[in-house]
Structure 1
Amino acid sequence: MGFYIRKSIRVGLFRFNLSQQGVGVSVGLKGLRIGTGPRGNYVHIGRGGLYYRATLPSANGNQPFLPHIDTTVIPEGTHAPLVEIESAAASKIVDSSSRDLLNEMNMKQARWRIWPWVGVLGLLTVFLGLRSGWSNSALWSALVIGSILTIAFAARDAMAKTVVLFYDFDAEMEKAYEALHSSGQQVSTAVAAWHIEAEGAVHDRKYHAGASNLVRRKKTTISRSSPPYVKTNIETISMVVGRQTLHFFPDRVLIYDEKGVGAVSYGELQLQVNAKQFIESGPLPRDATVVDRTWQFVNKKGGPDRRFKNNRELPVCLYDELKFSSVTGLNEVVQISRNGVGDTFARAIFDLARVMPSERVS
């Protein structure tokens, strides 16, 4: 599916519409539609600049790739301690622009949901009714009322926690973001992707297939998806990096974790892409480029060490490694099995940063 821009967003009974005048909001049932005032955010990116507006409340919402578990015991002291690779807390990764929008996202993410408590209270009422010998009609009435209240509060919670975000581009910016979206999709087609959690130097290569560095990695996902409780008129690429998730929006990268939301503008984002040789001890992804072979345990000459039984021959693969960083604290490394697509993604980010206008402060 290609890149597209929707002109309307529905959140429960509310519909947000994008027009030349900005964002309009209406709410109602079939045959009834009235104006109302839930907050919606409008972001314009183009020759007139980058600016944010908001509608304010009125004065009067294939098979899985399975990891390989290696049970071989490696002697201690064969490699240096692994150094953790992680970012600062998402809420701390913030640049100075569009702070109001980030404040709204953090405030809404922190709100408690009421509907689970209403549902539990309804079930508890029915249970107590059973224990007290209520009639069937009374029990059914309590169950129906409890269900209706739970659904109503669930809808209320969704509206209270949802951020509506409309983007409007000129032709140049739309082309630049479409290139980012397209290249991000290419990255997401990799059969396997890993988040590099830590790395360290190897002291004794014969125990590590001749590798000079050791990494701790975890399977991750790169996909087309929106952040939780965000309704937007464009499709975004997301990348899970440990406890955090990067969402590549048109104006910046939003960083989500359980503690809050942060952001890095494309002008501040640094992405370094390298083709890295990796000794693959797990299942070989079908799109991997194999450039060499080695052994799980090697001798001084690089051949198989005959002292070890079941000494497997391992493929040496050429993977793309993406290093994301910023002066505000972002520090993540992602490895993908498909070589050659990372450079296109990095170039699209650079091009988007180059044409991104300065933010207009009203």
Structure 2
Amino acid sequence: MAWKFRRRVKIIPGVHLNFSKSGISTSIGIKGASVTLGSSGAYLNTSIPGLGIYNRQQLSNGVKKPMLPPALPQNNSYPFESRGNIFSADIHEITSQDMQGIKEVILLARQQRATLHSDLLGIQNALRTTKLKKTLSYLLLYGLIKKSIPERLSNDMEAQQEAIVQTKEQIDASFVKLKAHFDPDIEEKYKSLVTAFTTLSRSSKIWDLTSSHYEDRVVTRSSAGTVVTRRKVSLGLKSISEFKSEVHGLYFQNANGADLYIYPSFIIMYSNKSDFAIIGLDEVDFQYSYVRFVETENVPVDSKVIDRTWAKVNKNGTPDRRFKGNYQIPVVRYGEIRLKTKTGLHEVYKFSNYESTEAFGRAFKDYQKLICQSTSSS
């Protein structure tokens, strides 16, 4: 019997983000059938390609989200009040309800690729076995006596090689295609955000703050009232492995949890070894500021020393003369950003370059404001 293999695969729906003055919508589907999600409701779009037949049916009514309240004047003198361990809630609890459809598409693509990879391994093993059988048929002479045996094995090898090619093509197609279309004014704001992020990512030092707690300055004789635990991380433009996208995410490495990928309308908290969450960008409380930081390590080249203190100080800031070898320590100005949501996102980052932090913070605020206005008006 000839070797045969057939695997029925699902066509992975694409995700199309549309940003306009009339509102923001997300379409999930394939050619001829898609679902559009927006604040005005959910709609089923069906069409017959080539015939010009199109139908749009409302599936549910939308609920307009209230606009975010105006931002309070930014306090650029003090750090955020983040105390204790700094980390986000369980990743299973953070996904926004509006983003559940996108998450399901990503899970479908992930599951299908895993199945196809398993199939590919099985076919490759079958091909190796068939090659071995053909070789043995000649070594043991029965292949020379009955020529139909090696001929059948050769046909099986051709079928297996073709199945390998097709399976690899199916794996390559089992990704979510993410596309975005912007109105010119929104696109300009988004490009400004990406430019500011790229500059921010070049900061000499970038840290993820994982904990923060008060320190008794009288006991420690230190000028620092807060002690933080920080770990070096990196930023960059990249996408999660499930996406084949013309739009890259703004990537924030997370030292104690899932990494952050900021896309035009949502944030994905993603880890290759665990689940992931998707959060609407309009739900994020984003703040930025500068902090005075007593730097006991080398001062980064792009940081500014704004003051000096002593390793051991009195309450009035003068050096404590009781300690021999008391030495001065630089106080530098760093940038700091915080991302929080009511569902449990809580991340704080510190940057050696405050000017870049401020530029990114303003660009993010401007873009987010435009997104929230579009969401509430649609």
TM-score by length of 1: 0.68
SS at match of 1:250: coil
State how far apart, in whole Å, the 2-side matches of 1:147 and 1:221 are. Answer: 42
Residue type at the aligned position of 2:117: W
Counterpart in the other structure of 1:49: 23
- Given that 2:126 and 2:160 are in contact with CA atoms closer than 8 Å, whether structure 1 keeps it comes out as no
TM-superposed deviation, 1:296:
4.1
TM-superposed deviation, 1:98:
4.0
Give yes or no for the alignment of 1:240 onto 2:264.
no
Listed as ranges, the matches of 1:79-94 within 5 Å are 83-94=84-95
Unaligned runs of 5+ in 2: 1-9, 34-47, 49-82, 140-149
Identity %: 20
SS at match of 2:354: coil
Counterpart in the other structure of 2:352: 337
Q: Taking structure 1 as reference, are residues 166 and 314 closer, same or farther at Cα in structure 2, changes over 3 Å only?
A: same
- Given that 2:221 and 2:314 are in contact with CA atoms closer than 8 Å, whether structure 1 keeps it comes out as no
Counterpart in the other structure of 1:250: 264
State how far apart, in whole Å, the 2-side matches of 1:274 and 1:151 are. Answer: 53
Listed as ranges, the matches of 1:36-115 within 5 Å are 38-56=12-30, 83-109=84-110, 113=114, 115=117
Q: Cα deviation per residue 1:149-204 (whole Å; 9 max; x = unaligned)? A: 777655544432x2111100111111121121122122212111000001111125
Residue type at the aligned position of 1:171: P
Larger CA deviation: 279-288 vs 116-125: 116-125
Residue type at the aligned position of 1:169: F
Match for 1:285 among 278, 300, 310? 300
- Given that 2:265 and 2:280 are in contact with CA atoms closer than 8 Å, whether structure 1 keeps it comes out as no
State how far apart, in whole Å, the 2-side matches of 1:178 and 1:91 are. Answer: 31
User: More helix per residue: 1 or 2?
Assistant: 2
State how far apart, in whole Å, the 1-side matches of 2:237 and 2:335 are. Answer: 20
TM-superposed deviation, 1:297:
4.7
- Given that 2:99 and 2:278 are in contact with CA atoms closer than 8 Å, whether structure 1 keeps it comes out as no
Give yes or no for the alignment of 1:261 onto 2:277.
yes
TM-superposed deviation, 1:91:
3.8
Please, what is the CA RMSD of the aligned residues?
4.0
Give yes or no for the alignment of 1:346 onto 2:320.
no
State how far apart, in whole Å, the 2-side matches of 1:319 and 1:153 are. Answer: 51
How many residues are matched? Answer: 297
State how far apart, in whole Å, the 2-side matches of 1:253 and 1:289 are. Answer: 32
- Given that 1:118 and 1:146 are in contact with CA atoms closer than 8 Å, whether structure 2 keeps it comes out as no
State how far apart, in whole Å, the 2-side matches of 1:285 and 1:108 are. Answer: 43
SS at match of 1:341: helix
SS at match of 2:343: coil
Residue type at the aligned position of 1:177: Y
Q: Cα deviation per residue 1:134-160 (whole Å; 9 max; x = unaligned)? A: 69999xx99999998777655544432
State how far apart, in whole Å, the 2-side matches of 1:328 and 1:197 are. Answer: 19
- Given that 2:13 and 2:105 are in contact with CA atoms closer than 8 Å, whether structure 1 keeps it comes out as no
Q: Cα deviation per residue 1:67-107 (whole Å; 9 max; x = unaligned)? A: xxxxxxxxxxxxxxx72111123342233324311221244
Q: Taking structure 1 as reference, are residues 46 and 280 closer, same or farther at Cα in structure 2, changes over 3 Å only?
A: same
State how far apart, in whole Å, the 1-side matches of 2:320 and 2:164 are. Answer: 64
- Given that 2:250 and 2:261 are in contact with CA atoms closer than 8 Å, whether structure 1 keeps it comes out as yes
Q: Cα deviation per residue 1:244-302 (whole Å; 9 max; x = unaligned)? A: 22222112222223312321323x21122121111222332111111223344556664
Unaligned runs of 5+ in 1: 1-35, 61-81
